[in-house]
């Protein structure tokens, strides 16, 4: 396995929170893995079978390590995690909660009903030894940012903070930056009328990144 260096030439780059983020190139392993296409809708606490742990081995300046619990970078990790979560909360889904990976939404039409539903979810977490990050928990709210969208009684809306980020993106200086911009824009395409028509002149750069930037590209980018 190969350890990827970051811009600071660190083999194991440190996060801002002073914890560690190990960067391992699992592309070869992921290519050889039979893909699990279970639909996404939890990962660091799911055990890896002992016979398979050696496949995740990586080397860094400190020593050689292998994961005993599933890391996010394995291609089937998200599907496995989501299947685990659905198995735990199966009879509560679409009744009083929704779950997408490690994001929970507990809802109700009244304060009393909400307390009852929240109690059901928390008891299920206790019984399955799930630990929640209290700093990321928000209770008794009527609206909030969920998976990059503003969700309230009005429905699903865009997060204005993300719109500001997209709007502030500079014009692409290189061809390979066009697909990157389209990735940002795709996130909110459901809210943009005729989105596919608007980006059609730019879509070719996803398939042919060697094309040259032209004045026409700039025009469509600004639109």
* Overall pTM > 0.75: no
- For the stretch 99-114, pLDDT in tens is 888 888 899 989 999 9
- For the stretch 56-74, pLDDT in tens is 888 877 788 888 888 777 7
Question: Is the confidence at residue 15, as pLDDT, over 50?
Answer: no
**What is the 3 state secondary structure string of the chain?**
CEECCCCCCCCCCECCCCCECCCEECHHHHHHCCCCCCCCCCCCCCECCHHHHHHHCEECCCCEECCCECCCCCCCHHHHHHHHHHHHHCCCECCCEEEECCEEEECCCCHHHHHHHHHHHHHHHHHCCCCCCHHHCCCCCCCEEECCEEEECCEEEECHHHHHHHHCCCCCCCCCHHHHHHHHHHCCHHHCCCHHHHHHHHHHHHHCCCCCCCHHHHHHHHC
């Amino acid at each position: 396995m190969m350890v990827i260096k970051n811009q600071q030439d660190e083999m194991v780059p440190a996060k801002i929170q002073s914890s560690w983020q190990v960067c391992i190139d699992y592309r070869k392993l992921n290519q050889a893995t039979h893909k699990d296409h279970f639909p996404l809708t939890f990962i660091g606490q799911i055990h890896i079978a002992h016979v398979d742990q050696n496949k995740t081995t990586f080397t860094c300046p400190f020593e050689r390590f292998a994961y005993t619990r599933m890391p996010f970078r394995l291609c089937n990790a998200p599907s496995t995690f989501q299947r685990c979560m659905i198995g735990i909360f199966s009879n509560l889904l679409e009744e009083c909660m929704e779950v997408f990976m490690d994001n929970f939404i507990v809802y109700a039409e009244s304060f009393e009903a909400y307390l009852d539903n929240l109690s059901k979810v928390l008891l299920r977490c206790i019984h399955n030894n799930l630990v929640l990050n209290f700093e990321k928990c928000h209770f008794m709210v009527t609206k909030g940012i969920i998976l990059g969208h503003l969700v309230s009684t009005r429905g699903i809306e865009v997060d204005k903070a993300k719109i500001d980020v997209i709007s502030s993106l500079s014009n692409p200086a290189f061809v390979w930056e066009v697909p990157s911009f389209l990735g940002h824009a795709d996130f909110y395409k459901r809210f943009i009328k005729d989105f596919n028509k608007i980006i059609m002149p730019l879509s070719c750069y996803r398939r042919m990144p060697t094309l040259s930037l032209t004045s026409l590209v700039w025009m469509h980018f600004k639109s």
